[in-house]
Amino acid sequence: MLLTMCGYNLSDERIEQLNEFIKSKNAEKVDINILIATLTHLKQLELDSEEENQADEYLDAFVALGGSPDKEGHVSKEVII
């Protein structure tokens, strides 16, 4: 795949997402415009994934300090200090 030649090592799931994106653009061949659009879409998928991971880290910390995994409860100031 062209992205592999650009230095991207993508999972099968991510490749499928990008193939669906390219199909949605009705592209018969990959030209520079489709490549740029695909790379932009890939970057957005990566940013979305990072935001989800960051939210998961905050939830993990909340639970470790005594909160509930369903985001209920509270953590006392003394525990944080």
pLDDT at 24 over 90: yes
Tens digit of each residue's pLDDT (9 = 90 or more) over 54-67: 777 777 788 888 88
CA 72 to chain CA centroid, Å, is: 25
Give 16's Cβ-side CA count (13 Å radius): 3
Tens digit of each residue's pLDDT (9 = 90 or more) over 66-78: 888 887 888 877 8
Residue range of the domain that includes 49: 2-80
CA distance 65 to 6: 43
- Write the Ramachandran bin of 45: left for phi over 0, alpha for psi from -120 to 50, otherwise beta: alpha
Q: Is the pTM here over 0.85, yes or no?
A: no
Per the structure, how many domains does the chain have? Answer: 1
